Structure 1
Amino acid sequence: MSQEHSPQTTNSEIEDQYEQYLMPIWKDLDVPIRRAEGCTVEDFDGNEYLDVFSGIAVTNAGHRNDAVVEAAKDQLDEFIHGCSYLHPHQPAAELAKRLAEITPGDLEKSFFANSGTEAVEGAIKLARKYTGSKEVIALEMSFHGRTLGSLALTGNKGYKNEMAPTINDVAHVAPPYAYRCQLCDGGPCSNDCGDRLEQVIQTHTAGDLAAVVVEPVMGEGGIIVPPEGWLERVQEITHDHGGLLIVDEVQAGYGRTGEMWASDHFDVVPDIMPQAKGIANGLPLGAFTARPEIADAFESGDHLSTFGGNPVACAAALETIEQLEAGLIDNARTQGEWLTSRLEELEADHEVIGDTRGLGLMQGIELIDAGGETGPMDVAPEPDAKLAKKVSHHLREEGIVIGVGGFHGNVLRFQPPLSISRDQLERTVDAIDDALSAKE
């Protein structure tokens, strides 16, 4: 990647402009990006970094993927804005047809939005219109967006402070968080957390269930993978009470887990499936897809989006899907299997690693205070968010950008472009190993 950069612009200038002219975005911004390619980003001072977070699981086909860029450029030469809900155009029509082909089961009709948050909110509106019911259940520790409606679903007070979500008919149920599960207490998984949904319906609702919303792998919650049978049981209970299962594939979809959809790992076909992030490899686009009889509950004007289905973003999405199916999903599966094994070895070598987990190239390392007291829910050691931040800073000094998250802020998150190589993954794991060894 070229090392050339504008001599009059520096990292400090960009950071100062963010401080002066942008509202506060994040408490710990990462490296300013001037240029990116593949799995590498470059800042304004000419430093290069290996990116194993891909803008929170967005550039699944790799930064500035040539084929995706060309598809977007070709559409720019035709027209930029057609408002797909006013003027029908080919990119939106072709993408909707393509989604009908690649989404699970009999999901067929899509609505295009600008983001994952909008996709989730649209899915809730559709579920309410189809069922005629209003109540929604989501998971504790979940994340579904930051607008007021989606924030009501998000099961984390840290995102809700001083906000007042507008969906009042929302209840929450315990997540399938095996490492800190009170129900199993370190023993074999009983799947009781799935059965808890029945209890929540009986005790926290008025019997007016429209939908249950779940992430098939919880990203912001800390890369939490549900146990075998959990998602199937949740769908069974949901349907028994007349609700729809909304599977939020915003972060876990588009090849991230080694399958096109994370729900492909389970014996479940969602009723409605929101998508975004990896859909157009960085261009703003979201969608939710449903079975025809559910989708047709929307009448003209029930839901609209001025920029949803933008032709340039749709053209990029079509090519992104081609790139994923041409080998990137296979690479995510292959590299993910290696990474799972390697992280298990790392866990055995370091007592400060409480758990490693994930699917494909969506994996997490949960860091703990191994010598401290029992932590949240009294079933596992205290989370060590400070150590997670220290490790991420160490990696940045080594030229690697990694995510840090989880409900307790103590999980290192591997969510790289799906084009990442074994050598690049090894470099990252070795750097984590060095950072933890130095700490111990």
Structure 2
Amino acid sequence: MARALGRLGPLWAGGRRRLPGSDTLRQQELKNSFSMQAKMPPCDFSPGKYESYPYERMLKIRKQNLAPSLVTYYKKPLLLHQGHMQWLFDYEGRRYLDLFAGIVTVSVGHCHPKVTAAAQKQLGRLWHTTNIYMHPLIQEYVEKLTALLPDPLKVVYLTNSGSEANDLAMFMARLYTRNFDLICFRGGYHGGSPYTLGLTCIGSYKHGVANAFGCQSTMLPDVFRGPWGGSHCRDSLVQTIRKCSCSPGCCEANNQYIEQFKDTLSTCVPKAIAGFIAEPIQGVNGAVQYPKRFLKEAFQLVRERGGVCIADEVQTGFGRTGSHFWGFQSHGVVPDIVTMAKGIGNGFPMAAVITTPEIANSLAQTLHFNTFGGNPMACVVGSAVLDAIAEDGLQKNSTEVGTYMLLEFAKLRDKFEIIGDVRGKGLMIGIEMVKNKTFRVKPPMCITKEDAAFAVEVFHAALMRHLERTAAS
């Protein structure tokens, strides 16, 4: 049986599209266009035998002893047992193609041999010493990491999670500027800690307690859902089906969204602000992209108000978007602070904040350190991940396989009226359905074109089954 493992993103509603021709004729055309049974690509890896508790006991323990906020998204929750590169195996030995990478975290592949070997070697040498002492790996790693960023982004704070990294970035922005207010996009996700929840503007993450003091949201420049947008707005091979009358080199939608940003600056915050944070492509919100020049113009407006600009690279970083190693590079900007997590450690709990020497000095006036940030295990894993990305050509693979997937999904959008939008860049893809759901396709960067073809076929089959059920009802 064909299986592809993915995840549904946040719920959103969109306008309905109609295709020409009667429903009956259109359904028959679609059936005729799809006759092949999706065949899972081969895998030369065999998982070990599952030897833990029976499934029902696992389910009972989860319900009784794990936080009820940990949702599973499946009628029968998956019990995963082992992973190998782009593949996952459940307790019964069934194989799945991972299209979500542990929430966009497994960058180079599950149990990547190089990363695994480096971690195993370090386990026998030194697990932990606080970073107030020197050990070789922390210096070696930060030198390797900062070499991948432009000047003056050369000072690193190593932390344990993306929420913690964004929390620290907020703190640094306020300390450095001596201002308080921060601006963020609606639809953005920057963490679930009490501090970062002020910047997270997705209703399902809000708990009804005070958390947004000093955080002001602004209109998301979304060229699909928003009031303005056309057929040339975003940095993607696939544009919206909305048409525009923009002249060459001029994006009317961008101009309109910039005016909204200016309105926020003039009405909702003081004359001097601490900063502005944005994901180069919104992740949790379904791979939402902005007009091409928006961030560059917004950064200039923020700096004119004394604020710093923060790029949240938690999902877009480390080559996932393909054309660049960092998402902000495709916008032609250099942020003042960059946060990163998830793919930085391929599943190991680590994160980082990288900034300028001047901003970093604002945090040096009093004691600040992280007990586990930059421990030997984290540094050796992070270093091995960077090596794997380079040696395996994973940034290039993100471009090639991501381009193929994006264009194939766009063909399905043109066939099925229930798909409203397909967008993204590299292996960061969003498929927005007309009613309520966004599929987030962000697999490990080692996925092959053959795997991608299988994933598209499975998605096509699911759409056909939906069409048949709709016709029968």
Normalised to the residue count of structure 1, the TM-score between the two structures is 0.87
Distance 2:414 2:122 in 1: 51
Which residue does the alignment assign to 2:415?
349
Q: Match for 2:112: what amino acid?
A: N
What pairs up with 1:322-341 in 2 under 5 angstroms? 322-326=387-391, 327-341=393-407
Distance 2:361 2:112 in 1: 36
Identity of paired residues, percent?
30
**Residue 123 of structure 2 is aligned with which of 59, 76, 96?**
76
What pairs up with 1:237-316 in 2 under 5 angstroms? 237-258=301-322, 259-299=324-364, 301-316=366-381
Q: 1:8 to 1:261 in 2, by over 3 A?
A: closer
Q: 1:261 to 1:11 in 2, by over 3 A?
A: farther
CA contact (8 A) 1:11 1:45 kept: no
Which residue does the alignment assign to 2:137?
91
Larger radius of gyration: 2
What pairs up with 1:5-16 in 2 under 5 angstroms? 5-7=49-51, 9-16=53-60
CA contact (8 A) 1:195 1:234 kept: no
Partner deviation per Cα, 1:256-315 (whole Å, 9 max, x = no partner): 111211112120011100000000111000101011122122115443211111210110
Distance 2:330 2:104 in 1: 18
CA contact (8 A) 1:116 1:250 kept: yes
Query: Cα distance, 1:184 vs. partner?
Result: 4.2
Distance 1:184 1:53 in 2: 28
1:213 counterpart SS class: strand
Partner deviation per Cα, 1:84-107 (whole Å, 9 max, x = no partner): 1x2122222112111210023421
**Residue 185 of structure 2 is aligned with which of 126, 139, 143?**
139
When the two chains are superposed, the root-mean-square deviation of aligned CA atoms in Å is 1.5
CA contact (8 A) 2:142 2:156 kept: yes
Which residue does the alignment assign to 1:36?
83
CA contact (8 A) 2:47 2:82 kept: no
Whether 2:256 is the aligned partner of 1:218: answer: no
Which residue does the alignment assign to 1:162?
208
Q: Match for 2:325: what amino acid?
A: M
CA contact (8 A) 1:36 1:63 kept: yes
For structure 1, the 5+ residue unaligned runs are 369-383, 386-409
1:178 counterpart SS class: coil
Distance 1:425 1:184 in 2: 29
What pairs up with 1:149-188 in 2 under 5 angstroms? 149-165=195-211, 167-184=212-229, 186-188=242-244
Partner deviation per Cα, 1:230-281 (whole Å, 9 max, x = no partner): 1101111111111000000011111111121111212001110000000011
**Residue 207 of structure 1 is aligned with which of 271, 295, 309?**
271
Q: 1:129 to 1:8 in 2, by over 3 A?
A: closer
Q: Match for 2:181: what amino acid?
A: E
Which residue does the alignment assign to 1:418?
445
Which residue does the alignment assign to 1:380?
none
1:209 counterpart SS class: coil
Q: Match for 2:69: what amino acid?
A: I
1:273 counterpart SS class: strand
CA contact (8 A) 1:11 1:43 kept: no
What pairs up with 1:111-150 in 2 under 5 angstroms? 111-150=157-196
Which protein has the bigger helix share?
A: 1
Distance 2:141 2:397 in 1: 24
CA contact (8 A) 2:86 2:97 kept: yes
Aligned residues: 399
Q: Match for 2:449: what amino acid?
A: R
Which residue does the alignment assign to 1:62?
109
CA contact (8 A) 1:363 1:414 kept: yes
Once the two structures are overlaid, the 10-residue window that deviates more, 142-151 or 297-306, is: 297-306
Q: Match for 1:345: what amino acid?
A: K
Normalised to the residue count of structure 2, the TM-score between the two structures is 0.82
Which structure is richer in relative contact order (CA contacts within 8 A, separation 6 or more)? 2
Distance 2:420 2:348 in 1: 36
Distance 1:317 1:261 in 2: 16
CA contact (8 A) 2:182 2:275 kept: yes
CA contact (8 A) 1:195 1:233 kept: no
1:268 counterpart SS class: coil
For structure 2, the 5+ residue unaligned runs are 1-44, 231-241, 245-250, 468-473
Distance 2:367 2:403 in 1: 44
Whether 2:150 is the aligned partner of 1:104: answer: yes
2:69 counterpart SS class: coil
Distance 1:2 1:10 in 2: 21
CA contact (8 A) 2:79 2:90 kept: yes
Query: Cα distance, 1:187 vs. partner?
Result: 4.5
Whether 2:94 is the aligned partner of 1:47: answer: yes
Which residue does the alignment assign to 2:64?
20
2:424 counterpart SS class: strand
CA contact (8 A) 2:166 2:196 kept: yes
2:97 counterpart SS class: strand
